[in-house]
Amino acid sequence: MAAPSSSWLDHIPALSDDPTHPAQVALRTYALALSLSLGPSLVPFVSAIFSTKARARATPAALKRVLRRELGHDGFPFAITLAVAGGAAVRKHLWALLACGAPKTAAEASPGPAESYTAQACAALRSTLASVRAALLALAPAQRTFVAHALSSAVGIVLIQAGRERTAREKAARRTTPRAPDLTSPTLDLTLLVVVRAVDSMLQSFILQKPVPARVRAASLVHGRGAEPALVHARLAGEKIRRENRVRQQWTSQVDAFVFWACSARIMWCFFYEPQRLPRAYVGWINTLANLDDGIQHTLRNIREGKWSYLTGSPAHAHVLQDTARKLGLPPVWGDPTALPAYGGAAATETWKKLGYAMRPGIGGIPCELLHGEVGASLGLQSSCAANTGLRTLTGFVEALAIYVPVHFIPVLLTRPQTLLRPHRLLETALGALRSAAFLASFIGVYWGAVCATRTRGLARALPCVSHDFWDGPRGCIMAGCLLCGASIWLENGRRRGEMALYVLPRAVRAILPDRLVKSGHRGARLAERLAFVLAFSALLTAATHRPDSLRGLSRWTLAFVTNGPNAGFWKRRRRDPSVPPTPSVPSTPFPTDEQQQQQPRVDSLKST
C-alpha cells in the first residue's frame, strides 16, 4: 500500500492549542489591528470604483503609500502586535529563564584582594544582576505581567511614533504650498484613549468586589462531609458579591452620565470656538449632524473675539453673514450688524419694521431664518423655532439609526446569530438600537431648543436690556445649548452610558490640555506621553489577564479577544479535515477524579434542593 503523499501543510509549524500562547496572541492582535487601520484606509480606493471624483485621488502611488504605511515595521498593526504579543512572550519565557540555574555562592561571587579592578567591577555587576534577578523572581504574577508588557509597549510606542512622523514628513514633502509644521504629537489621541481606559479599569477594580475564585468553589466539592456547607457558603458569598456589585454598577452608571454630560459640554463649546482642539474627523462628524452653515460658525467666533458686534459693527467681517443670507435667498441686510437691533424692546420692533421683518417683535439679534438655514424651508417653516428643533431631531433620529443599528446588530450576528431567531431577543436588540438613536436625536434637539429658547423665546425676551452681543456670544445661547444637550444621556441604557462616557472623555481631556504643552514639540512632553502610554497600556493588559471584570465595553471585548480568543491553529486542521470541530477558546474541563465522582451525587442533590 502506497504511503500517503505529504501536503505543503505538513511543513507548516503547528501552533499551540493554548489560546494564551504568544503566537496565538500575535495572530489575533495583528488581524484585529490590521482591520482597524488598513480597512478605513482602503475605503477611498473601493469608492473610486463607483465615483469619478474619488478616482483622481485613488492612484497606484497613493495605494502604495497606504500599504507602506500600514504594513511596514513602523506601522500601527506591527507595532501594536509587538506591544501585546511581545509582552506575552516575555511573560512566558523570561521568568522561566531566570529560574534556571543556581546563583553563585558568596565565595565565588566575591573577588579576592589581589584581583584587578576589572574583575572587581565584573563581580559588582554580577552581584547587581543577581539582585535584579532575585527581585524579578519575587514579583507576583500580576506584577510580572505588568513588567513584561511595559518592556514590549515601550518599543511599540516608539515604533508607532516613528511611523507617523515619517508619514507626516512625506506629506509635507508632497505639499506644494508651504505650511507651518504641526508639532502636535501624532499619537496623542491614542495615548489619551489608552490612559482613560486604564484609569477606568483601576476605578472599576476599586469599586467592584472581586468574585469568589472558581478554584475556591471547586475545592468545596472534594473534601469530606463538609462539602455541602462549604459549597452553600461559597454560593451565598458569590451571590452577595454579585448583588453588591450590581448596586455599585447602578451608581457607576449615574457617574458615567455626569461624566458624559460634562465632556459633551466642553466638546461642543470647542466645536464652535476652538475646533483645532478636537480631532479633525470628529469635528467633521459633529458638523454633519449639526448641519450649520460655515458663515454662522465664523460669525460666532468673530463675536467671541470682538470682531463682529451689534454695537460697534464689523468693518472687516460684515460680509460673511451677508453672503450666508444671499445663499439662503434672504435680504443681505439681515446679516449686517450695523442694521440689526442690538437690544430688545420697542426700539427693536421699530427697527424690524424699517427692515420689513415682522417675526421678532421686541427682540434683537440675527433673524432666526439665518440660523435655521434651509431646515423647514420647503414646508414654509423656516422661521419657526419649534419646527426647526423638531425637524432636526427627526433628521438626527434617522441618521442615528444608520449608526446604531449596525452597532447593536453586528456584534450579535458575529457572536450569537441564533439568538435573533427568538422574537423577544430580536425585539430587545431592535429596541436598544431605537433607544440609542433617540439619545443622539434628543442630543441634537435639546441643543437647538436651548439655543432658540435663550436668544428668541425665553431669556432674550425677558431681559431686553441685555445686548445680543451677550445672547449670541460664548456665554449666551451657545453655552446654554452646550450645557443642556448632554442631559440626553439619561435616555440611553445604563450599561451603555459607561461606553459613551469613555468615548468622549479622551476628546474632552484633549480639549482641556493647553496648546503650549500639546503643540510645543518639546522632548520632555514626548517622553511624558511615552511613559503615560507604557504605564496605561501595561495596566490594561494586566487587567485583561488577571482582573477582566474591571474592564468595560469595547476594551473588555477587544482585550478578551486578543488575550484569550478563538484558537488560530484551528484553521490549519480545518483545511485538512472540514469535519474537525472548532477549537474551544478556553481550556476544556479535565475529567473528574474518582473522588470527585463520588462527591458528585451530593452536589446534584444539593442543586436539586
pLDDT recorded at residue 537: 96
DSSP secondary structure code for residue 357 in this structure: -
pLDDT tens readout for residues 334-362: 888 888 999 988 888 999 998 888 888 88
pLDDT recorded at residue 55: 67
Mean pLDDT lowest among 152-161, 229-238, 445-454: 229-238
pLDDT recorded at residue 251: 78
Burial label, 67 (beta-carbon count in 10 A; 0-12, 13-18, 19+): middle
Mean pLDDT lowest among 122-131, 370-379, 404-413, 490-499: 122-131
CB–CB of 47/41 below 8 Å? no
pLDDT at 513 over 60: yes
DSSP secondary structure code for residue 456 in this structure: I
pLDDT at 407 over 90: no
Q: Which residue has the cell 473601493?
A: 46
- Residue 291 region by backbone torsions, left for phi larger than 0, else alpha for psi between -120 and 50, else beta: left
Q: Which of 6-15, 572-581, 600-609 holds the top average pLDDT?
A: 6-15
pLDDT recorded at residue 64: 86
**Residue 47, all three cell numbers:** 469608492
pLDDT tens readout for residues 296-339: 999 999 999 989 999 888 888 888 899 999 998 889 988 888 88
CB–CB of 563/25 below 8 Å? yes
pLDDT recorded at residue 54: 62
CA torsion 368-370-374-377 (nearest 10°) is 50
Dist CA 538 CA 153 (whole Å)? 7
Dist CA 549 CA 201 (whole Å)? 9
CB–CB of 272/480 below 8 Å? no
Give residue 155's Cα distance to chain centre.
Answer: 22
Alpha helices (H) in 453-493, listed in sequence order: 459-462, 468-471, 477-485
pLDDT at 96 over 90: no
Dist CA 119 CA 109 (whole Å)? 11
pLDDT classification of 487: cutoffs 50, 70, 90: very high
- Mean pLDDT of all residues belonging to the chain: 81
DSSP line for 269-317: HHHHH-GGGS-HHHHHHHHHHHT--HHHHHHHHHHHHTSSBTTTB-TTT
**b/e string for 43-61 if b means 16 or more Cβ within 10 A?**
ebbeebeeeeeeeeebeee
DSSP secondary structure code for residue 490 in this structure: G
Distances in whole angstroms, Cα of residue 167 to Cα of each of 67, 74, 76, 151, 563: 12, 10, 12, 25, 30
pLDDT recorded at residue 576: 46
Dist CA 244 CA 36 (whole Å)? 37
Distances in whole angstroms, Cα of residue 350 to Cα of each of 124, 396, 466: 93, 38, 18
Q: Which residue has the cell 454630560?
A: 261
- Nearest alpha carbon to residue 465 among 609, 347, 329: 347
CB–CB of 592/600 below 8 Å? yes
Amino acid at 195: V
Amino acid at 232: V
**Residue 565, all three cell numbers:** 480568543
Beta bridge partners, 309, equal 313
pLDDT classification of 157: cutoffs 50, 70, 90: very high
CB–CB of 210/547 below 8 Å? yes
Mean pLDDT lowest among 186-190, 293-297, 437-441, 601-605: 601-605
Mean pLDDT, residues 56-75 = 83
Mean pLDDT lowest among 77-81, 233-237, 400-404, 497-501: 233-237
pLDDT recorded at residue 574: 41
pLDDT at 570 over 50: no
Dist CA 491 CA 432 (whole Å)? 11
Dist CA 195 CA 201 (whole Å)? 10
Distances in whole angstroms, Cα of residue 188 to Cα of each of 89, 157, 165, 358: 27, 11, 12, 51
pLDDT classification of 93: cutoffs 50, 70, 90: confident
What is the largest distance, in Å, between two alpha-carbon atoms of the chain? 109
pLDDT classification of 604: cutoffs 50, 70, 90: very low
pLDDT tens readout for residues 444-476: 999 999 999 999 888 998 999 999 999 999 999
Mean pLDDT lowest among 145-159, 350-364, 474-488, 575-589: 575-589
pLDDT at 163 over 70: yes
Q: Which residue has the cell 435655521?
A: 372
CB–CB of 87/149 below 8 Å? yes
pLDDT tens readout for residues 377-387: 888 888 889 99
pLDDT tens readout for residues 103-129: 554 444 455 554 567 777 777 778 887
pLDDT classification of 482: cutoffs 50, 70, 90: very high
pLDDT at 259 over 50: yes
Dist CA 96 CA 18 (whole Å)? 18
pLDDT at 440 over 60: yes
The helices-and-strands tally (H runs, E runs) of the chain is: 26, 0
- Nearest alpha carbon to residue 449 among 481, 404, 422: 481
- Nearest alpha carbon to residue 338 among 326, 355, 323: 355
Alpha helices (H) in 513-564, listed in sequence order: 515-518, 523-546, 553-564
Percent residues over pLDDT 90 in the chain? 30
**Residue 450, all three cell numbers:** 436651548
Alpha helices (H) in 382-453, listed in sequence order: 385-415, 423-452
pLDDT recorded at residue 14: 66
pTM of the predicted model as reported, rounded to 2 decimal places: 0.80
Of 395 and 413, the one with more pLDDT: 395
pLDDT tens readout for residues 207-229: 876 665 544 444 444 444 455 67
Of 388 and 173, the one with more pLDDT: 388
